[in-house]
Amino acid sequence: MTNRILAKRELAPQITLLEVEAPRIQKRWKAGQFIIIRPLAGSERIPLTIVDSSAERQSITMVIQAIGKTTKEAVAMEPGQALCDLVGPLGEPATINTGQEVVCMAGGVGVAELLPVAKAFHEAGSRVTALCGARSDSYRILDEELMGVADVLQWATDDGTYGFAGNVVQLLLSIAGPGTFTEGHVIGPIPMMKAAAEATRGWGLKLHASVNPVMIDGTGMCGGCRVTVGEEVKFACVDGPEFDAHLVDFDELTRRNRAYREMEQEALKHDCHIGLG
Amino acid sequence: MAAQPPKYKPNPKAPRQALPLLNAEVRSRTPEEVALGFTPEQVSVEAQRCLQCAKPTCVDACPLHIDIKRFIARLADNDWQGAHDVISEQSPFPGVCGRVCQHELFCEDSCIVAKKWDPVAIGSLERFAADHARLRMKELAGSYPQPTGKKVALVGSGPASLIAAYDLVRLNYQVTVFEALHKLGGVLAYGIPNFRLPREILHEEIARLQNMGVEFVVDFIVGKTATLEELFEEGYEAIFIGTGAGLPYMMGIPGENLVGVYTANEFLTRINLMEAFKFPDSPTPVRVGKHSVIVGGGNSAMDAARWAKRFGSETTILYRRGRAELKARLEEVEHAEEEGVHFEFLSAPVALYGDENGYVREMECIRMELGEPDDSGRRSPVPVKGSEYRIPVDTVVAAIGQAPNPTLQKVTPQLITKRGKIVIDDHGQTSMPLVYAGGDVVRGGSTVILAMKDGRAAAKAMHEALSVEKPEEVEA
């Protein structure tokens, strides 16, 4: 049955992996592409990066950080249940070149989203250095899977409980400089992607950022996910989600992603009231 | 067929019946349907205004060739169900078309009565027949034999595919409709507001097709989830592309990405499809502030403005030409005016300014005057130098048109396009054999009824192509 949850695993506090039956998407997806789900009939449409797939089980894997109403609904579901809606694969695949010296950077739940990109670079014959960030040791996710595809894997934790003490960009600056890498991919919180872009400006590094703006249909119809890239306005859902990190207007992206924050807080409260009845 | 004299004495002189509307003040605060529909008494008067012409020009003028003359005769005879049955010969969507079709441009425009008096209110009569028959539709469920013929795929579940599905399923094809979104109806679901087309009408008329054996698959993007080639491999023998005009034009002015600036597609999708008018009981919000400015003069602009008004916003439609040049239906313009939408003609946005949080706060506009006629035959607007002025605004909706959605074309280079529109021949066939297209993906931003006309034409062409017996393969 399409959309059925086959497995569920909590990777870290509030970060949950779902494996979902999706034969068509499993067959067609490429690293960097995403899906849109509605866990329940009344849910919002939310975009999620495809993390992995299994041809044997005709499934795809997604990793969800439960922070909003809809993500909480998703992680509350159990194996055997089916997502109400699942559509994809959406967006353009990530740029994967061969023979490159690649740095892959991610923070938080972005680490999961980095996995397929790191894997694709690895399989394409590039040398992959993965720099991953987490709040604390207990928030590190998919360490083993990343070990399997990265030539070098280093962790940075904000509290220093594991690996480098600090953030991913500080870690990058501690190990690399202009010329160290030829290509890179960054995914995670906007401040981190922005800092990575700033830190590497002038390094001769082609850095791709995978952005995650507010999105509704995911097919280029609404334009809600528009991002300024250099002089151009792009739709992340169909032109992206990957853009040249050195050209993305991250400040604008930050403001646009905050547009509904207050309203969403209200919705959460509203729900709590219903729950308490 | 010999012309039958009407059973009634036509009375075209009777005043054209006005469609009863919800009080403007009340309706500007609710998503409830604006038009209430004719009373049986009005139907009687209005139907008897029809002359039952020997050569009914209205039938030719209708893009679906609904037998208007005959269904009106049934209504005049108080045979409401019979009227619905007559319409159903050509269209399963009288509830939708009775509401959103531009009758004034087609059947009513060609009505002979209009030579001396107002035309017969054909649209409102169609709608009445539909609304009356709604209750009986459930009885029709399952009364059709399941189709067993060849498999055909229709891409997109908007008006073009819906009518094609109706025609093809009646020809015994196994019809599958693929829809990218999670709800069916295409532009009827995401574009047209509830107050113009209540969702239960749309659902019920689509359910008619389901009852007849049409299969609908949601969450399926042809071009992404599967390619055209894969659909052929899976046994579909012909494919119709009716993917619509889902790529919004941007205004191209500074400040366009400030928070609170929407394309009409996003604004309407949030509200119509995701039901933001119920937020927080629905999960998707929309930001409608105190002052909304809708840029544009088409039906989407009216729809967006009337929604903004319903959210309690002071709403202005900013249009670079004059009232006479508005592209929207007059009825929608009038309804917007009645509901208190303000129109600012001969003005265009130049720039948007935001606050420190990136929220839009001000719009700079420039006055326009009308110059020489442009390609569309309308006088083109020319900016008046030095006439810039600013207005406060916290919600901006750009309703300035859209181009065909490029998703499928992008992965199907064999499909020849011209300025994004899929090119078709006289039979609706694209540059790919057995792939047909119609509606907005071919026309650019057009109307529901012309999309249906295309869907019907394509269905006919598909049937003709698939009916040709293939010569038997000669064994080598």
Span A233-274, pLDDT tens digits: 999 999 999 999 999 999 999 999 999 988 888 777 766 554
We report the CATH number of the domain holding residue A160 as 3.40.50.80
Contact by Cβ (8 Å): B14, B48: yes
Of B401, B428, B452, the last residue of a domain is B401
Rounded-to-integer distance, Cα A210 and Cα A240, Å: 8
Q: Which amino acid is at B187?
A: V
Q: How many Cβ atoms sit within 10 Å of the Cβ of residue B390?
A: 13
Asked if residue B396 and residue B263 are part of one domain, the reply reads yes
Apex CA A188: angle with CA A182 and CA A190, to 5°? 100
Q: Is the per-residue pLDDT at A221 higher than 50?
A: yes
Strand pairing class (B261-263; B215-217): unpaired
* Torsion over CA: B180, B183, B188, B191 (sign): negative
B184 CB-contact burial (10 Å; exposed 0-12 / middle 13-18 / buried 19+): buried
CB within 8 Å: B407 and A238: yes
Of B140, B163, B185, the last residue of a domain is B140
Residue A125 falls inside a structural domain: yes
Q: How far is CA B442 from CA B177, B234, B416, B423, B451, in A?
A: 18, 26, 11, 6, 9
Tell me how many residue pairs between chain A and chain B have CB atoms under 8 A apart: 118
Residue A210 falls inside a structural domain: yes
Nearest to B224 among A89, A264, A266 (CB): A89
Rounded-to-integer distance, Cα B321 and Cα B273, Å: 30
Residue A34 falls inside a structural domain: yes
Contact by Cβ (8 Å): B408, B222: yes
Q: What is the CA radius of gyration of chain A?
A: 18
Give the domain range for residue A37.
5-90
We report the CATH number of the domain holding residue A46 as 2.40.30.10
Residue ranges of A 75-104 with Cβ closer than 8 A to chain B: 84-90
Asked if residue B205 and residue B119 are part of one domain, the reply reads no
Q: Provide the number of structural domains found in chain B.
A: 3
Of A25, A55, A90, the last residue of a domain is A90
pLDDT of residue B476: 46
Asked if residue B354 and residue B323 are part of one domain, the reply reads yes
A275 contacts in chain B (CB < 8 Å): none
CB within 8 Å: A87 and B220: yes
Asked if residue A118 and residue A48 are part of one domain, the reply reads no
CB within 8 Å: A44 and B283: yes
Q: Give the pLDDT confidence of A95-139 residue by residue, as tens digits.
A: 999 999 999 999 999 999 999 999 999 999 999 999 999 999 999
Structure-token pair, residue A269: 């409260």
Q: Give the pLDDT confidence of B361-414 residue by residue, as tens digits.
A: 999 999 999 988 888 787 889 999 999 999 999 999 999 998 998 889 989 999
Nearest to B259 among A84, A219, A255 (CB): A255
Q: Provide the number of structural domains found in chain A.
A: 2
B358 contacts in chain A (CB < 8 Å): 252, 255-256, 258
Asked if residue A157 and residue A45 are part of one domain, the reply reads no
We report the CATH number of the domain holding residue B314 as 3.50.50.60
Asked if residue B255 and residue B240 are part of one domain, the reply reads no
Residue A258's closest chain B neighbor by CA? Answer: B259
Of A52, A71, A90, the last residue of a domain is A90
Residue ranges of A 58-77 with Cβ closer than 8 A to chain B: 69-70
* DSSP-based helix, strand, coil % in chain A, nearest 5: 30, 30, 40
Structure-token pair, residue B438: 């119609």
A37 contacts in chain B (CB < 8 Å): none
pLDDT of residue B445: 82
Residue B86 falls inside a structural domain: yes
Closest CA to B73 of B10, B128, B118: B10
A270 contacts in chain B (CB < 8 Å): 280-281
Asked if residue B391 and residue B286 are part of one domain, the reply reads yes
Residue B358 falls inside a structural domain: yes
B221 contacts in chain A (CB < 8 Å): 87-88, 90, 219
Alpha-carbon gap: B406 to the closest alpha carbon of chain A (Å): 8
The mean per-residue pLDDT over the stretch A203-225 comes to 93
Asked if residue A86 and residue A126 are part of one domain, the reply reads no
HSE-up of B169 (CA within 13 Å, CB side)? 25
CB within 8 Å: B259 and A267: no
Residue A233 falls inside a structural domain: yes
For chain B of 476 residues, list the mean pLDDT of each consecutive stretch of 10.
Answer: 68 95 92 94 96 95 96 95 94 95 94 95 96 70 74 97 96 97 96 96 93 95 96 97 92 95 96 94 93 96 97 97 92 95 97 95 96 83 96 97 89 91 93 96 92 97 87 52
Closest CA to A218 of A36, A28, A26, A37: A36
CB within 8 Å: B284 and A271: no
Asked if residue B241 and residue B209 are part of one domain, the reply reads yes
Residue A237's closest chain B neighbor by CA? Answer: B407
CB within 8 Å: B274 and A271: no
Q: Give the pLDDT confidence of A4-15 residue by residue, as tens digits.
A: 999 999 999 999
Q: Give the pLDDT confidence of A157-202 residue by residue, as tens digits.
A: 999 999 999 999 999 999 999 999 999 999 999 999 999 999 999 9
Residue A83 falls inside a structural domain: yes
We report the CATH number of the domain holding residue B94 as 1.10.1060.10
* Residues whose CB is less than 8 angstroms from the CB of residue A170 and which lie 6 or more positions away in sequence, other chains included: A156, A164
Asked if residue A184 and residue A55 are part of one domain, the reply reads no
Asked if residue A240 and residue A202 are part of one domain, the reply reads yes
A45 contacts in chain B (CB < 8 Å): 182, 274, 284
Residue B12 falls inside a structural domain: no
Asked if residue A217 and residue A188 are part of one domain, the reply reads yes
Rounded-to-integer distance, Cα A131 and Cα B350, Å: 45
Peptide bond into A89 cis (omega under 30): yes
Residue A272 falls inside a structural domain: no
Asked if residue A150 and residue A76 are part of one domain, the reply reads no
H/E stretch holding A119 reads: helix A110-123
Asked if residue A140 and residue A73 are part of one domain, the reply reads no
Asked if residue A105 and residue A76 are part of one domain, the reply reads no
Rounded-to-integer distance, Cα B107 and Cα B218, Å: 34
- Range A4-10 contact pairs with CB under 8 angstroms and sequence separation of 24 or more: A4/A80, A4/A81, A4/A82, A5/A77, A5/A78, A5/A79, A5/A80, A5/A81, A5/A82, A5/A83, A6/A57, A6/A59, A6/A79, A7/A79, A8/A75, A8/A77, A8/A78, A8/A79
Alpha-carbon gap: A263 to the closest alpha carbon of chain B (Å): 7
CB within 8 Å: A238 and B180: no
Report DSSP letters for A122-155, one per residue: HHTT-EEEEEEEESSGGG---HHHHHHH-SEEEE
CB within 8 Å: B263 and A223: yes
Rounded-to-integer distance, Cα B332 and Cα B309, Å: 14
Of B401, B422, B438, the last residue of a domain is B401
Asked if residue B370 and residue B448 are part of one domain, the reply reads no
CB within 8 Å: A88 and B224: yes
How does DSSP classify residue B35?
B
* Torsion over CA: A258, A263, A265, A271 (sign): negative
Residue B476 falls inside a structural domain: no
* Residues whose CB is less than 8 angstroms from the CB of residue A25 and which lie 6 or more positions away in sequence, other chains included: A35, A50, A53, A60, A86, A88, A89, B225
The mean per-residue pLDDT over the stretch A217-232 comes to 93
Asked if residue B155 and residue B131 are part of one domain, the reply reads no
pLDDT of residue B472: 56
Asked if residue B448 and residue B388 are part of one domain, the reply reads no
How does DSSP classify residue B272?
I
Asked if residue B104 and residue B31 are part of one domain, the reply reads yes
Rounded-to-integer distance, Cα B50 and Cα A130, Å: 77
Asked if residue A239 and residue A160 are part of one domain, the reply reads yes
Nearest to B182 among A85, A88, A266 (CB): A85
Nearest to B279 among A87, A223, A263 (CB): A263
Q: How far is CA B435 from CA A209, B291, B428, in A?
A: 37, 46, 9
Token pair 């008004």: residue = B309
pLDDT of residue B219: 97
Contact by Cβ (8 Å): B234, B176: no
pLDDT band, residue A276 (cuts 50/70/90):
very low
Taking the model in full, what pTM does it have? Answer: 0.93
Three-state secondary structure call for residue B262 = strand
Asked if residue B327 and residue B347 are part of one domain, the reply reads yes
Asked if residue A11 and residue A37 are part of one domain, the reply reads yes
Residue A231 falls inside a structural domain: yes
CB within 8 Å: A219 and B405: yes
Asked if residue A243 and residue A121 are part of one domain, the reply reads yes
Of A34, A56, A90, the last residue of a domain is A90
- CB of A39 within 8 Å of a chain B CB? The answer is no
Give the domain range for residue B366.
249-401
Residue A265 falls inside a structural domain: no
Contact by Cβ (8 Å): A94, A31: yes
A258 contacts in chain B (CB < 8 Å): 259, 357-358
Q: Which amino acid is at B54?
A: A
A221 contacts in chain B (CB < 8 Å): 190, 246-248, 265, 269, 405
Asked if residue B239 and residue B205 are part of one domain, the reply reads yes
